[in-house]
A and B are shown apart, each in its own frame.
Chain A
Amino acid sequence: MNSLIEINNLSTYFESGAGTVKAVDDISFRIREGETVCIVGESGCGKSITAMSIMGLVDEPHGKVVGGQIRFGDKDLLKISKEEMRRIRGNDISIIFQEPMSSLNPVITIGRQIMEPLMLHQKLNKKQAYARALELIELVGISRAEQIAASYPHQLSGGMLQRIMIAIAISCGPKLLIADEPTTALDVTIQAQVLETLRQSKEQSNMSIMLITHDLGVVAEMADYVIVMYAGKIVEEGDVEELFERPKHPYTRGLLKSKPIIGQRAEQLYSIPGQVPSPLELTESCYFHDRCESCIPICRIRQPKLSEVAAGHLAACWLYEEEAEA
């Protein structure tokens, strides 16, 4: 499969009153056509900032993409003009967010909000756009499309709104759909419906999905490929089966261990001790060392590089480095 988007050495920093926060620190990965890549990690590890960096929507002037390359087709998204980027957003790459309740404009009708990108990117006229909007509403599994199109966001439930968000995101037939914690804010029963909607939309159009989540259940269900992030860095990545069956990095192992397994009773659910380190206090070391059960001396003084530990399986951990002793 051809790769659709390639992120090389992306770094996004934020200036806060107390110093520079390296929210995303020199990460590289790629997403192939039709593939679903999941990015997992605790909150604050840089997953969402990665997504916003790809969209070109990092909050300026506080935050800034300071380096790297985002290759999409024959373009580098970090080099092209704002206007060109705007034409890609919502058209070739689209995104849905965590909070469906607040992500739609409260004073504009649902129909109008779906029609907007269609009229803008696909150059449909009002009538065509409206007809297409109704199709899209039905496509994401909501009946009474006309009634829904005329209603305002506050009149719908969270699950419905998230499906409307999906309808908006897929309206222009994007090549890549970024879903930033799309189910986190929803009830468990609704979560499955929304994921199903996502999967169906993907099957119909062969788009790629970059799914950001901290829910390993979602990962197991949706992912082809998994990337684990910790404190702004990628610590492990690989195919979903490989990674779930043979996790290498102690952090990934911890995450997998803390996931409840249905049918198995445990005395107490496992949780990784400690907290994500403050991004301001990071020093040259493995950022995970003070929470790690297998910490060795070198972990405290040098940072491990991401390298292949098995075929198609990368991890950044001194435990797998030959030179660890050197």
Chain B
Amino acid sequence: MSIPTTAGRPEKAIRALDVSDSLWRQSIRQLRKNKLAVAGFAFIAFMFLICFIGPLFSPYADGKINPANMHQPPSAKHWLGTDLLGRDVLTRLLQAGRISLTVGLASMALSMTIGTVLGIVSGYYRGVVDQIIMRVADLLFTIPGLPILFIMGALMSDWKIPTDYRLYLVMLMLSIIGWPGVARLVRSQMLTLREREYMQAADVLGLSDKRKLFRHLLPNVFPLLIVIATLSIGGAILSESALSFFGLGVMPPTPTWGNMIDAANNVIDFEKRPWLWIPPGLAIFLTVIAINIFGDGLRDVLDPKQNTSR
């Protein structure tokens, strides 16, 4: 039983009035009504700010090794204590956050770019190109992501990749895992969009392929892409942390949240010095949950058709 049919009409009328308002502004206004999503966004912003600016105000930002000061429990001087080299854990946590967040963002950007381009090419030109791209995507789906990541991580170690470069390779690895999902989604969207009337209208008008792509199709896939992009940052941060925890991702001295938790692999640190590994774990958890909640709010606003939660 639904609201009587006439009830729909005034709403439509109101919506029609809003056409002058841009879709984006309207979406933002709608998003602001979702308190949970706003809180998520605020936390993400806070995390970025504190990680990128915070260390500038820390007296321990140089990361100097101070053996006299090792393994201090949390105190007024060192809020989260110090590690086995006498470095301030809080400062290190923020510096690690920079790397982890950057890895998340960069690998997201990379897999979105690869996935979108391949998805569009696949869905638009179809034929042999489509076949090749989609079979490769199928192939990457066949082997679960974690073992592939582990293999690639081990390859890096065996090739003796300098630790400085590992960071970038980890981003690349994550996007190798990430792009097939994006490509499939974009492709299926392209295929449905192609069939829509306005695309046929564009055909009738004789618009060129490129124009059709960029003026008509892309704007339609864009909202969906933003949602996937947001959610995939969270996934990338999680994968990176697991990889680095097992010593197959980014390695010390470059700190990431994942390799900081590596301290837990040492029995004494694990049992007696929880300040070394619990804060980075919480940082990952809170950041990812904020991203997921915000991403879900975005989905509600930008992609009402796929609305899965509310």
Contact = CB atoms under 8 A, between A and B. Distances in A.
Q: Do A and B bind each other?
A: yes
A52 B4 CA distance: 12
A21 B10 CA distance: 11
Nearest to A14: B3
A280 B3 contact: no
Interface in A1-50: 14, 16-19, 21, 23, 43-46, 48-49
Nearest to A19: B10
A44 B4 contact: yes
Interface in B1-38: 1-7, 9-11, 13-14
A172 interface: no
Interface residues of B, number: 12
Interface in A33-87: 43-46, 48-49, 52, 57-59, 62-63
Nearest to A278: B10
A18 B15 CA distance: 11
A281 B10 contact: yes
A94 B6 CA distance: 26
A141 interface: no
B2 A16 contact: no
A1 to B, nearest CB: 31
B34 to A, nearest CB: 15
A63 B3 contact: yes
Nearest to A46: B4
Contacts, number: 50
B4 A59 contact: no
Main secondary structure of the interface of A (DSSP, over half): loop
A276 interface: yes
Given A16-B11, A17-B11, A276 B6 contact: yes
A279 interface: yes
Nearest to B9: A278
A17 B12 CA distance: 11
A46 B2 CA distance: 11
Contacts of A19: 10
Nearest to A277: B6
Contact of B14 (A18, A46, A49): A18
Interface in A173-197: none
B1 A57 contact: yes
A21 B9 contact: no
Given A278-B10, A281-B10, A62 B3 contact: yes
B4 A48 contact: yes
B174 to A, nearest CB: 41
A59 B10 contact: no
A120 B298 CA distance: 45
Contacts of A23: 3-4, 7
B5 A44 contact: yes
Given A57-B1, A58-B1, A44 B14 contact: no
A21 B4 contact: yes
Nearest to B11: A18
Contacts of B10: 16, 18-19, 278, 280-281
Contacts of A43: 4-5
A57 B2 CA distance: 11
B11 to A, nearest CB: 5
Contacts of A279: 4, 6-7
B20 to A, nearest CB: 18
B5 A59 contact: no
A301 B10 CA distance: 22
Contacts of A57: 1
Contacts of B5: 43-44
Contacts of B3: 14, 16, 21, 23, 59, 62-63
Nearest to B13: A278
B1 A21 contact: no
A2 to B, nearest CB: 30
A141 B2 CA distance: 32
A278 B10 CA distance: 7
Given A14-B3, A14-B7, A52-B1, 13 more contacts: A14-B4, A16-B7, A16-B10, A21-B4, A23-B3, A43-B4, A62-B3, A278-B9, A278-B10, A279-B6, A280-B7, A280-B10, A281-B10
12 contacts: A16-B3, A17-B11, A21-B3, A44-B4, A44-B5, A44-B6, A45-B4, A49-B4, A59-B2, A63-B3, A278-B13, A280-B7
Closest 3 CB pairs of A and B: A44-B6, A44-B5, A44-B4
